[in-house]
Amino acid sequence: MAPDEKELVILAQKGNTAAFEQLVFRYDKNVLSLALKYIQDNDLAKDIYQEVFIRVYRGLKNFQFKSEFSTWLFRITTNVCLTYKSKKQSSVFVSINEENDEGDPVREIRDESWESSPDLSAFGSEVQLRINKALEEIPAKQKMVFVLKHFEGYKLREIADMMECQEGTVKKYLFEAVHTLREKLKDLQV
């Protein structure tokens, strides 16, 4: 029987590298996915991924089970993404080709019918660029909440735990992000 997560963490805290590798294996795709959706660059997302697991490895001895390991891990991931954004100030894009909830200001723009018409395809590319630009202009914490909620599917309480803030603060960030996107893209609304 495979050890549960708590056992793996305890073993990894004692220096068991195989246990740490199992923890990495359980969450590596989730961490990379979040970084990629926030950064939208494979190489930079891999750098963030690497930095996250370095921090987890170094900080694991201080993990005290006050939260789930996954919450702690995604808190580190969120912080690394936000820190990266503030340090690099490079172009950051969030994919708009992910499936979103109905009613969101950002929704999948392209479907099969767009591919058949060069005019529609060009228009779709222009729209995609406008949406990416609008997302880039959202403050980092608002963007992170938006990505975690709408692209990763986390609940507000989980996001609050990851970002180490109150659920009300997460709601405020999300409201402001959606409001800003609606305002910046109001001429695109159907």
Domain CATH for 75: 1.10.1740.10
Q: Domain count of the chain?
A: 2
Q: pLDDT-based confidence at 124, cuts 50/70/90?
A: low
Cβ(135)–Cβ(177) below 8 Å: no
11-55 pLDDT, tens digit each: 999 999 999 999 999 999 999 998 888 887 888 889 999 999 999
Residues 184 and 147 placed together within one structural domain of the fold: yes
Residue 101 covered by a domain: no
Residue 56 covered by a domain: yes
Residue 96 covered by a domain: no
pLDDT > 90? residue 99: no
With pLDDT > 90 as the criterion, what percentage of the chain qualifies? 38
Cβ(23)–Cβ(5) below 8 Å: yes
For 1-5, 140-144, 171-175, which range has the lowest pLDDT when averaged over its residues?
1-5
Residues 80 and 129 placed together within one structural domain of the fold: no
Q: DSSP assignment, residue 185? A: T
Residues 170 and 128 placed together within one structural domain of the fold: yes
Q: How many residues are present in the chain?
A: 190
With pLDDT > 70 as the criterion, what percentage of the chain qualifies? 76
Residue 161 covered by a domain: yes
Residue 39 covered by a domain: yes
Residue 105 covered by a domain: no
pLDDT (0 to 100) of residue 24? 94
Q: Let me know if 2 is exposed, middle or buried by CB neighbors in 10 A (0-12, 13-18, 19+).
A: exposed
* Residue 11 vs residue 123, higher pLDDT: 11
Residue 102 covered by a domain: no
Residues 14 and 75 placed together within one structural domain of the fold: yes
Residues 9 and 83 placed together within one structural domain of the fold: yes
146-178 pLDDT, tens digit each: 888 887 888 999 899 888 899 999 999 999 998
Q: Which helix (H) or strand (E) element contains residue 65? A: none
pLDDT (0 to 100) of residue 189? 57
Residues 118 and 81 placed together within one structural domain of the fold: no
Residues 78 and 13 placed together within one structural domain of the fold: yes
Show contacts of 103-109: CB within 8 Å, 24+ apart.
104/150, 104/178, 105/178, 105/181, 105/182, 105/185, 105/189, 106/131, 106/135, 106/150, 106/181, 106/185
pLDDT > 50? residue 120: no
Residue 84 covered by a domain: yes
- 2 Cβ neighbours under 8 A, 6+ residues apart: none
Q: Measured between alpha carbons, how far is residue 123 from residues 117, 168, 187 in Å? A: 10, 38, 14
Residues 66 and 135 placed together within one structural domain of the fold: no
Structural domain that includes position 126? 112-188
pLDDT (0 to 100) of residue 1? 65
Q: Which amino acid is at 9?
A: V
